Amino acid sequence: MADETVTAGLLVIGDEILSGRTKDVNIAATAEFCTDLGIELREVRVVPDVTDEIVGALDALRHKFTYVFTTGGIGPTHDDITADAVAKAFGVALPINPEARAMLETRWKSAGTEVTAARLRMARIPEGADLIVNSVSAAPGFRIGNVHVMAGVPIIMKAMLEAIAPTLRTGRKVHSITVKAGVGEGAVGDALGEIQSRYPEVRLGSYPQMGGDRPTTELVLRATDEALLAEAAREVRAMVAAAHERAGLPAPDAEVY
Amino acid sequence: MADETVTAGLLVIGDEILSGRTKDVNIAATAEFCTDLGIELREVRVVPDVTDEIVGALDALRHKFTYVFTTGGIGPTHDDITADAVAKAFGVALPINPEARAMLETRWKSAGTEVTAARLRMARIPEGADLIVNSVSAAPGFRIGNVHVMAGVPIIMKAMLEAIAPTLRTGRKVHSITVKAGVGEGAVGDALGEIQSRYPEVRLGSYPQMGGDRPTTELVLRATDEALLAEAAREVRAMVAAAHERAGLPAPDAEVY
């Protein structure tokens, strides 16, 4: 298992992200979560609270990747339609789940909260799904097939990711090395492309850093093979040292660059 | 024109977003930009620096929405392949554009920067495209058909959005009113759904606010018709006042809630 590529797609559900009212932070949190586990997050989609849009995106992603994570739309109000859309995509019913209801009622009882039709919406779970525990506010997420349905509230989303982590197959861990260059992207682009062509299994990214006195660049190397990564990084460091020399800059500090 | 719905899709291109290395801020900036102009941002996709993935997402979005905005992948390095992918999607050549080259060379001359093959990549523009001026770092974006190709660096992306704003058809301006409720979502969900069913043209969103002493909720109403919006907001305010009373809370402050 450990040398197999495990992939994921993320589906962010909610009008509030698309209107700009809420700034999404779940994309970055999920990306870091996946990278830490050696899962390759390959695609993200953000769709509105519209059933057909959710179903369409879900079907596209779930057939393409090992896992799909969704965030948003599982609360108690009429615009929380993620469970409905997931049940529709899988062609299953959406009954009140006794276990989910019990989790919620325990919490409500201790808080003196009345059971209402709106609140009970949160206990509707597609048939055949397993619950994902919500340690923050009780209302559970769920897993059906390769799809993990989680909350949009960032702290709950993070807690749910932690809850599912032990259940996920993890892929080959991707290692990364960052090499900082005291010159702009244009000064290293040709040489970097040449190195990339010789190391197809190392992913070479180039990221301009703006806002300082002069342009600098961060070169990020990523690979699953640590020896190959180290070898490519040596070449990139030598290339950057040469670019510094051409630009009349001091040699890059081996520790920093 | 002004009473027509104008829609948009956003395509964010870059491995660095999917790996979690870079936290995207262009989604929120584009969402706010669209909302301000009365353009409905309907979908966002984030894809890696892989030509076929970019072409696939671009084709899906450009046939679905009035406009597509892309961000990322137009710099001078080998992993900047957005222009190549867009040219492929539209089936056109990708020559050095004389106007783009002149813009870049003027900037390079004043900075004493050498012209290299890598830097000249930034002057490659799909045939038939118009340039989008880059007031920050000279390298232009471009528009071809309904697709606007812009930089990933947030300050440049924002400058390019400002540059294209006057060229875009703008839709009906969407107005919004926020009503704050001093109770959790579950306490207003049923009544909110009932109001939503009577105001299909008003979009009612419910957003739980966490982290305070007790759960509160922001109810956001959005509509293009200001009179209808005001009428629905009056109903929501009355509903919230009733929920406060039931919960033994003071009446919501008319100014704050």
Task: Show me where the domains of chain B are located.
Answer: 6-167, 175-246
Give residue B155's pLDDT band: very low, low, confident or very high (50, 70, 90): confident
Burial class (CB in 10 A: 0-12, 13-18, 19+), A22: buried
Q: What is the nearest CA distance from A41 to chain B, expressed in angstroms? A: 6
* Chain A residues within 8 A of B17 when measuring between CB atoms: 27, 31, 44
- pLDDT 10s digits, B17-39: 999 999 999 999 999 999 988 99
User: What span, in angstroms and rounded, lies between the C-alpha atoms of A12 and A69?
Assistant: 8
> What pLDDT, on a 0 to 100 scale, did the predictor assign at position A211?
63
A207 vs B16, B23, B43: nearest CB: B16
> What pLDDT, on a 0 to 100 scale, did the predictor assign at position A110?
83
- pLDDT 10s digits, B52-61: 999 999 999 9
What are the structure tokens assigned to B87, written together? 């040219």
> What pLDDT, on a 0 to 100 scale, did the predictor assign at position A160?
94
Burial class (CB in 10 A: 0-12, 13-18, 19+), B102: exposed
> What pLDDT, on a 0 to 100 scale, did the predictor assign at position B161?
93
Helices (H), ranges, A171-225: 189-198
- pLDDT 10s digits, A119-134: 999 999 999 999 999 8
Choosing among 3.30.465.10, 3.40.50.2300, 3.30.70.600, 3.60.70.12, the CATH entry for A175-246 is: 3.30.70.600
> What pLDDT, on a 0 to 100 scale, did the predictor assign at position B194?
95
B121 vs A: CB within 8 A:
yes
Mean pLDDT throughout B106-135?
91
% residues pLDDT > 70 (chain B): 96
Low-confidence ranges of chain A (pLDDT < 70): 1-3, 211-212, 253-257
- A142 touches A126 (CB < 8 A): yes
Contact A210 B155 (CB under 8 A): yes
- Residues B113-145 as b/e (b if ≥16 CB within 10 A, e otherwise) read beebebbbbbbbbbeebeebebeebbbbbbbbe
Q: What is the nearest CA distance from B97 to chain A, expressed in angstroms? A: 18
Contact B44 A46 (CB under 8 A): yes
- pLDDT 10s digits, B158-179: 989 989 998 999 887 778 899 9
> What pLDDT, on a 0 to 100 scale, did the predictor assign at position A1?
43
> What pLDDT, on a 0 to 100 scale, did the predictor assign at position B175?
87
Q: DSSP letter for A100, please.
A: H
User: What span, in angstroms and rounded, lies between the C-alpha atoms of A55 and B103?
Assistant: 45
Architecture of the domain whose range is A6-167: 3-Layer(aba) Sandwich (3.40)
Between the alpha carbon of residue B119 and those of residues A38, A220, B132, the distances in Å are 34, 19, 18
* Chain B residues within 8 A of A205 when measuring between CB atoms: 15-16, 21, 49, 79
> What pLDDT, on a 0 to 100 scale, did the predictor assign at position A151?
96
Contact B16 A117 (CB under 8 A): no
Give residue B45's pLDDT band: very low, low, confident or very high (50, 70, 90): very high
User: How many other C-beta atoms lie within 10 A of the C-beta of residue A150?
Assistant: 27
Q: Which of residues 207-236 of A touch B (CB under 8 A)?
A: 207-208, 210, 220, 222
Give residue B257's pLDDT band: very low, low, confident or very high (50, 70, 90): very low
Give residue B3's pLDDT band: very low, low, confident or very high (50, 70, 90): low
Establish whether domains B6-167 and B175-246 are of one fold: no
- pLDDT 10s digits, B187-238: 999 999 999 999 999 989 888 876 667 788 989 898 889 999 999 999 999 9
ipTM value for the complex: 0.84
